[in-house]
Structure formats: C-alpha cells, structure tokens
Structure 1
Amino acid sequence: MKLYSALLLTAAITLAGCQTTEIVPPKSIAEVNYVDIPTLLISLDSDGDGVPDDLDQCPGTPENVVIDGRGCPFTTIGTGLQMEYRAFFAKGSSELTSKYQVELDKVAARMKEYDTAIFKIEAHISEDEINKELSSLPKNRALIIKNYLLLKHGIESNRLMTLNCDAKAPIAPNDTEEGRSFNRRVYGLLTEPDNDYPSNLKAGICVEF
C-alpha cells in the first residue's frame, strides 16, 4: 500500500513537471495601430502682399505696389511694369494732402527711371458730391495730380492720361460717411505704354479728357 501511494505521488510530480505555461508573444510592430495627430501650419505674410514669407523672395514690399508670384514688384519695361497710386479727398475738395504728395513723388521717380511708362489717372466722387456747383470736381482732382507731376517733376504731358469717372465706379457703399470718404478718390496706374487700360475705360464708365 505504501509502495502504491509512493508511485502515485511520483507520477503526479512527473506530470506537473511536464506541464508548460503558454506564453503569448507581444504584437509585432506591423500590428501596432498608429493614430495620426493633425498638425496646424501657419503661414506668415509680414509685408501683406499676399505671398507667404516662406515663398516671398522680396520681403518688405511697400504698399500700393503690384507684385508678381515671387512677391517682387514688377520693375522693368517689357516684363509687366505696374505701379498703383491712390489719393483720397475731403468732401467737395481737390486739395492733395502731403502724404499723397509723397506717394506721388515715388510715381514720378519710377516714371523717370522708365521713360516710356504711362500714368493713367482716374478721378472719382461720392454720390453726395453730385451737384452743379461741384460738377468740375472730378476733373479738378485728376488735374491736381497731373499738374503736380508736370510742374514739380517735369513729367511730359503726353505720358499722363486723365479720366473723369464721376460717381459711376464706387468702391464702397454711398449710404455711410465712411463709404463716401473711400469713393472721393483718385486712382492712378503706371503701366507700359502698350498695356490695355482696365475695364472702367473700356466699359465707358470713365471718359478721357
């Protein structure tokens, strides 16, 4: 009996020693799930010319200058010379204030640099300036610009085109004083001599005089 019990104990121990614990291997790298975290990219445009800093090859472009896809001003005749000018006026006035004279000096400098360039001058009024007493106002605004370039900088008259647009091409609503103040303006465009004039002349909105 004792021998039989001893044999059973020995067999049990032997069986226990033969059992192994199943080890589950960890997932392989290929089985690991990754989660994409969105990244927010911010493109700065320090000079406000519409070309992000990381693409802008001419940082610090001044205002009122037309630029190309690189962020650089058009600068040579034959490759798209353009320069814009804007001046705003008090109601009923054609007085050109000093800050707009400074900008006009820059236009004159460019015209001297490129002596075939043409400057086209659009004169506009607001709706509350439409009356008999102020009928000559848009022409006066255009002429004050033209005469400044003629008398101060000696720019030839045949390189200056003046256009009367009256109140036909507003850039802001005329139902507020702020809007009307934006419409009392002169818009100038310096271009190559063979450039077509913008749509305001083609559409008959402005009249050359």
Structure 2
Amino acid sequence: MIGRHRHGGGGRFGGGPGGMGGMGGLGGEDGMPRGRKFSSDDLQLLLLAMLAEAPRHGYELIKALEDRSNGFYAPSPGMVYPALTYLEELGYTTVELEGNRKRYALSDAGREYLASNRERVDIMLAKLTHFARKMDLVRRAYMGEEVDDAAADNGWAPELIAARRALKKALLLRTDASQEEQRRIAAILARATAEIEQNPAPKQA
C-alpha cells in the first residue's frame, strides 16, 4: 500500500473491504458506498490511472474523475494535491512546471506500480462506471423521464439481479453463523467466483 492512512470497516458480511455488501463489496444493494467513497490508497491509484491516459494538471485530474463518474466522485483539491505530492516523492510521477502550475506525468516506476495493481485499479474504474450510470438514472428520474427496468438495473439481466439479491439475503440470514458454516459458505463463493472468472472481464478504458 502506498497511502499514509487506511479507511475501512464493516462486519462479517458487511460493506467494508472484506464484506459482502452489494455488488463488489461497496456497501449498498446497488453497489453504492456507505460513507467515504474511496480510501487514500484508492485515490492515489486512481490518479496514477488517469495519468496513464495522459499527463495532467491537478485540476484536470479532479475533472477527469468527475467526468468518469458522471459527477458522483470529484475529490477535493485538499485530497488530490497532497496525494500528488506523495506520489511525486515516491517517484511514481514526474512534474513539469508550467508557470505557477505543475503538470504531472506517469514515471516508469509509477507505470510498473500501476501494472502490479491492475486488477484493483480495474475494479475501481468499474465502480466509477457504475456510479456514472446511477447518476444518469437519478438525473433522468429528476427530470420526470420514464426509466425502464433494464435501464434501472444498469443493463444487468433480471436473472443476475435476482441471484444477487438472493445471495445477499442468504448471507444476512447467516450473520451469526458458526466458523464451520462460514467456511462452508466461503468455499461455495470461492467456487462460484472461480467459475465466473473462467470468462475474462471486459477491459476498463
């Protein structure tokens, strides 16, 4: 981990980093997070991912994350600039001064670090895409537009939605399960995950 602080929480099957809250462990039924959206470690990796696309100034990085999430996630300058300074200290970025502004680019070391965390980064980028779709639905509903069931579920098949909800219910009903039962559940989920991952996930842009 490259961040100075860790943020987390959540119960056995809750919404924390090790929990089962929602799709992808984000906390809510539809994958929306509870509380803080991303940890400091997450933000640093997201900044590196944005710099892998193109060199950017700090405010451009904020805008890139805001655009990617359709306005859902726009980290404050008070979070972004200290993170950029830290990434520069680690040698993961290079900096070019343009007047009073700094233009950040990904260094070779940063590119290697990003590659070593590719799966984690892809998951976070997928979350941003999910948030963006949710924000679009919220805006459409606010404007009084009709939203069909397929759009409301982000294009997921009804069978997948039903299975996800059934899994969440089954886990919640076993909150006080014994250690033996927890291990049995974990083995079932591990087998299901392995079967799902037999087909590669779509590439994140």
Which interval holds the TM-score relative to the shorter structure? under 0.3
* Structure that is richer in strand per residue: 1
The TM-score with structure 2 as length reference comes to: 0.23
The two structures have a TM-score, normalised by structure 1, of: 0.23
Asked which structure has the greater RCO (Cα within 8 Å, sep 6+), the reply is 1
Greater per-residue helix proportion? 2
